Structure 1
C-alpha cells in the first residue's frame, strides 16, 4: 500500500474546504455532499467552524484510490491561523494549492506557496470556481508563473468557463501531451534536454521530469475545475500520483520514527495525538521512544488508530507513511517526535511561530482557577496559545490576533460554560541571552533546605529552552529534580526585563538535599532564585516580534499605503513594489507584529476597500531601548523582595 499525506491550502474563500468535501464524495468516502454555507462539511466538524464558515484547526480525513491511501489534511485559510497550516507542513508529502478562477493569485496564496517551497513540498495548483461568472483560468495560469516565480504547466483545458456547466479535459493524453511538455521544457535546461531527446508522447517520461522539478519549485502543474459542480475532479484525482513520495526506508518493526502534528479530544473527552509515522511498524504493544528533552524514554501506546474514511477507526497496525492516532501516558505534544535521539537529531525540528500580542482574560464569574484549567486544555491542542496567571483573577494569554481571541472566547463559553472578557491586546516582546551566567546556592545559604547550581548559556536561534538535569540523577530524589525543572521552566517566562526568554540552555551543575528535612517545595522555590541570578549575570536583549507581509493594492494607492507602513515602522523589502497584474501592485516587507491590527483597520480606508494583505510570523529584531514588563514572580533575584512576595501568597 502506498501512502500520500496531502495538504489542501488556499487563500480564504478560494474553496479549500469545498474541494476537500468534493474529493471525499467523488471517491465514495461520504454518501452526501456537504457545503460550507450550511455547515454540513465533514472536516469543519467544530460548531464554531461551521458557524463562521472558516477552518480553524487542521482536520484529517482519508480516501482510497486503488492501491493508494490518501490522508487528506484540510487546513485553515485565515491569516491568523497560518501557524496551524505550517505545523502541518512538517508531515505532508504534497500540497494542493487552491486558487480562485475569479480572484486569481492573492497575497496569502503567495505566502503559502513560498512556505511550501521552503519546506521542499511539491505543489499541485488547482484553479477552482471555473463555473463562476468572471472565471478566467487562462489568465490565472499566467499569474501562477508570474506571481509565484515558477513555470506553470497546464494539465487541463476548460471549456465553457463562467457558465453553470463547464467542461474540463485532461491534456495528458497521447495526442495532447505536447502542450504540457513544451511548458515544462521552459523550466530548466534539464527539462529542455529531456524534451528534445525523449519521445514527446511518453507520459511516464514527462511525469518523471515534472515530479523532479516540483519539489524544487521550478515547475508547478496546474489543473482546473469546480468543487461545486464536480467538473475536473476526476482529472485532479488522476494527477495526485505526481505527489506520491518515495517509499519510506525500511528500518525494521522495532525502529519507530514519526512526527506529532495535532492534538484533539474524542467525543468522550479522551486526549489523542496525530502522528505521521515515517518508519517502522506501529502496534499497540510496540515500545517506542518519545523524544522530548533529555528525560525522554521508552513508552507504549494505550490505543492505536489510523485515519480511515472520515473518522478514526481502531486498527491493529499502522504502517510507515500513514497517520496514526495515539493515546499515551505521559502525553505526546505537538512537534514532539518518536524515535531514537540520534535519528531525530539529524532532522531539523519544526519551530512554532511565536505569538505576537498579549491580552488579559477575566472570567465573568470570577472563577479564575477554572478559567486557567480550561485554557490549559485549549493550549494543549493549540501550542500557539500560551498563558500565565496574573494577580486579580486574570490570565494573560498570548495570541496572534483578534479572530483567534474571538474563537477562544466562543470555545470557553461553549465547552466549559465560562464567559470571559478580553483586555485590549498589547505588544508581546521576548528576550535572548547575550552572555553566560552561573550561580550556585548550597544548603544553608538560603531560607530553603535545598542546594542548586547551574550554568546558563545562549542556544542556537530556534533551539528553544533546553533544561539538562543530568547532574541531579543519583544526587537528589527524582521528585525534587522534577520540582526544580518545572520551576525553571516557569521562571523562564520572566527574564531580565520581565519578558519570556528564548533559546537558552540550562545545565544543572550542583544539587544537594537534606534527607531529614528537604521537600520538593524547597527545590521549587529555590530554582527561580538561582536561575534569575544567572540571567542577570548573562544579561539579555529585548526582541520585537516581526511579521513578513505582502500587500496587494491598486497602482494609485501605492503611495498612501507605503506612507502608512513607514509610519508603523515597517521595512519594505529591497525589491521595490512590483506590478503583478494589470495595474495592481504587490508590496512586501517586515512589520512589527503589534502593528498588524492597526494596518488591518487602515488598509480598507487607504485603498477604498480594494486592497488586501497577508502575513506570517517572521522572527524578531532587537529593540534599541528595552521595554520593561511588570514582574509577577516577586523578583527572585532579590531575595528580600522574593521572600516578601512568598509571604503574601
Structure 2
C-alpha cells in the first residue's frame, strides 16, 4: 500500500494545530476551519487543550491528498509534553516543522530539528504567520540556516510580507542556487553540474529530501490559508511514500495507549508491513521482558477523518486496538525490528500528590502512567505518600485536570523537587543461602559501575536452575535497582549473578523475589554509591542591557555559563543549571529581563550533589534493615 504517515511538530504557538486544520479542510474532512483560540479544532479534543489552546496528547487523523493516503499525527509543542512527541516520531515517514515568521527559531524548534535530523526523518519546513506584523523572510532564512540546518532551500518568495495581503510566489526548482546546494551533497551530481551537463534538480532534490539531506522551506499563513495549496503540493512531491505489501510479515508499533469510556485499554499502532486481523493470534515484543501472544478483540482504522471498525487492517494504516490488557507504549506486534525508542531524557522532577481517597488516587495515576510510560508513580511504604514524576510545572495542571474530569479525584501538589540518581563508587559482592524459615533459596551477586545502562550477566549455568527462577531473579534485580542506598535509582550498573541454590520441591519463585533485594543491596552497600543531581542545559535570550544582572542570578542559582553572544539589543546566553534551581531562576526572569526574556531548557546530564547526600523515602520495606524488611513482608 502506498501511503504517508507524517507528523506536524513545532514550538508552542507556532501554528501547528492551525496548519493541521487547514490540511483537513483542503482534504474535505471538515467543512470549516477551527481556531485554536476558539477551542474548536479537530485534533485538540481534551477540555484542557481547548481551554489553554495547546496540544497535550498526540492526535491521529487520516485523509487523502489526491491519490495519496495520509496519516497525520498532530503532536504537542510545549516542552513539558516532549514524551508525546517522542512516541510520534518513532512511527513517521516524514514531518513538517512549523516555524513562526515573527517569533522565528525558538529553542524548542532547535531541539526538534536536531531530533528529526538524528533520526533522518525527511522534513519540510513551513514558515507560518507571514501576514503578521514583524514577519521576516531573509533574516529568518539566515537564522534557519545558522540555527537549524544549512541545507534549507526556499521554494517560494513572499510579497507584502507582514501585511494582511501577504502572498507567496513559487520559485523554480531548476535554478542555480538549488543546483549548487544539491551538488554540495552528491559527488556524482557535482561532477555532472561542473561539466555543464543537463541535470534534473527536482529528481535529485526528491532523493536528498528522502535521505534527510535537504529541507524545502515553504511560507504561508495557516489562519488565512495563504500558501496551503503550495505546502500540500510540497508534501505530495518531496516526502517519501511508504510502500509495503499486505502479504509481508506483520510489523506494527504501538505509539499511544489510552482508556475508553468503559475503562478498557485502546492501543494506537502504525502497521509498517503485513496484515493485522481481529481475533487472530499476534506476537507482542515488549521493550523489556519476554515476548507473548495476544488476540485483539477489535480493530478500528483511522480513515476519511474518522475511525471505524474493521475485521482486518493492512500496511500503511494506523489502527486502534482493543482487548490487549498488557499492551504498553513502544511494544511491537508481529516481527521485532530495531528502532530508537528513547529520544529524550526521562523526567527529572517529581511532586507529592494528595487527595482524600488515596486508593482511588493511586489507581487513577497508575492508569495515567500507562498512557505515558515516562511518568512514574510511587507509593512510599509506611506513610503511603504518593509521588509522580514530571517534566515541568504545566504538567501539574494537566494531571489535576485529567484526574478531576476522568476520575472525579480532586488533588493538590507539593513543591516540585528534582529526581536524583545513584552511581556506584566501586565494586561489591554478597552471597546468601536461606534454608530455614519461610524461604528456601540462595543467590550471590557481584556489582560494578558501567558507563551507561543496566548489564545483567550470568556466571552460573543457565540449566542449573529452573527457567522460572531465573526470570524471577532478573526481574527482581531490575526492580531493586530502582532504589539504591539513599532511595534513588541506580541506572548504570553491571550485576553478575555468581551463585544460585534451591531445594526441590520446597523452593518457589517467590523465595527468590524476597531474597534478591537483601543480597543485592548488601553488595551495593559494599561498593558504595554517590548521589547525583540532574542538570539542565539552558538557552536564554535577554535584552543586552540586562546581561550583568541576569548573569549574577545565574551564578546565584548554581548555573555555569558556557557561551554568551552579544548584539546591540540582544544577548544569547547558554550554559548549565541544576534542575533544583531551574524553576526558581525561571520565575525571576520576567523581572530580570523586563518581560522580554526567553528561556528554554533540556536535560544535560548528572553531577554530584554538593553537600550532604539527599535521601528518598523507600517503597520496598527497606532491605538495608533485615528485621524491618522481613516484618514488612510478613504484613503484606
TM-score, normalisation: structure 2: 0.89
Among 371, 386, 407, the alignment partner of 2:376 is 386
Mapped pair 1:491 → 2:483: no
Note if contact 2:455-2:493 (Cα within 8 Å) is conserved in structure 1. Answer: yes
Q: How far did 1:93 drift? A: 2.2
1:272 is aligned to: 266
* Secondary structure at the counterpart of residue 313 of structure 2: coil
Among 193, 203, 206, the alignment partner of 1:205 is 203
Q: How far did 1:644 drift? A: 4.4
Distance 2:208 2:177 in 1: 10
Cα 1:545/1:647, change in 2 over 3 Å: same
Distance 1:35 1:640 in 2: 62
1:591 is aligned to: 577
2:348 is aligned to: 356
Note if contact 1:272-1:326 (Cα within 8 Å) is conserved in structure 2. Answer: yes
Cα 1:455/1:550, change in 2 over 3 Å: same
Q: How far did 1:232 drift? A: 0.5
1:69 is aligned to: 69
Cα 1:409/1:537, change in 2 over 3 Å: same
Distance 1:330 1:485 in 2: 23
1:307 is aligned to: 302
Mapped pair 1:256 → 2:243: no
Cα 1:104/1:630, change in 2 over 3 Å: closer
Q: How far did 1:200 drift? A: 7.0
Mapped pair 1:601 → 2:591: no
Note if contact 1:130-1:226 (Cα within 8 Å) is conserved in structure 2. Answer: yes
Cα 1:537/1:281, change in 2 over 3 Å: farther
Alpha-carbon RMSD across the aligned residues, in angstroms, is 3.3
Distance 2:455 2:31 in 1: 48
1:158 is aligned to: 158
* Secondary structure at the counterpart of residue 157 of structure 1: strand
Mapped pair 1:444 → 2:435: yes
TM-score, normalisation: structure 1: 0.87
* Secondary structure at the counterpart of residue 539 of structure 2: strand
Cα 1:531/1:155, change in 2 over 3 Å: same
1:374 is aligned to: 364
Note if contact 1:108-1:613 (Cα within 8 Å) is conserved in structure 2. Answer: no
Note if contact 2:98-2:125 (Cα within 8 Å) is conserved in structure 1. Answer: yes
* Secondary structure at the counterpart of residue 412 of structure 2: strand
Mapped pair 1:106 → 2:95: no
Distance 1:523 1:86 in 2: 36
1:500 is aligned to: 489
1:510 is aligned to: 500
2:628 is aligned to: 641
Distance 2:393 2:25 in 1: 34
Q: How far did 1:237 drift? A: 0.6
Distance 1:569 1:158 in 2: 46
1:118 is aligned to: 118
1:10 is aligned to: 10
Segment drifting more, 499-508 vs 101-110: 499-508
Segment drifting more, 451-460 vs 591-600: 451-460
Segment drifting more, 29-38 vs 199-208: 199-208
Cα 1:98/1:189, change in 2 over 3 Å: same
Q: How far did 1:146 drift? A: 2.3
Q: How far did 1:444 drift? A: 2.0
Aligned ranges 1:571-586 → 2 under 5 Å: 571-573=560-562, 576-578=563-565, 583-586=569-572
Q: How far did 1:521 drift? A: 5.7
Segment drifting more, 285-294 vs 127-136: 285-294
Distance 1:224 1:245 in 2: 21
Among 178, 183, 186, the alignment partner of 1:181 is 178
1:401 is aligned to: 392
Q: How far did 1:374 drift? A: 0.6
Q: How far did 1:476 drift? A: 5.7
Note if contact 1:142-1:152 (Cα within 8 Å) is conserved in structure 2. Answer: no
Q: How far did 1:467 drift? A: 9.6
Distance 2:316 2:263 in 1: 27
Among 383, 398, 416, the alignment partner of 2:407 is 416
Aligned ranges 1:546-625 → 2 under 5 Å: 546-573=535-562, 576-578=563-565, 583-623=569-609
Cα 1:578/1:124, change in 2 over 3 Å: farther
Q: How far did 1:392 drift? A: 3.2
Among 188, 212, 217, the alignment partner of 1:215 is 212
Note if contact 1:90-1:350 (Cα within 8 Å) is conserved in structure 2. Answer: no
Note if contact 1:551-1:612 (Cα within 8 Å) is conserved in structure 2. Answer: yes
Distance 1:220 1:437 in 2: 52
Q: How far did 1:241 drift? A: 3.5
Cα 1:349/1:410, change in 2 over 3 Å: closer
Note if contact 1:435-1:538 (Cα within 8 Å) is conserved in structure 2. Answer: yes
Cα 1:238/1:418, change in 2 over 3 Å: same
2:531 is aligned to: 542
User: Gapped runs of 5+ residues in structure 1?
Assistant: none
Segment drifting more, 525-534 vs 3-12: 525-534
* Secondary structure at the counterpart of residue 442 of structure 1: strand
Q: How far did 1:20 drift? A: 0.9
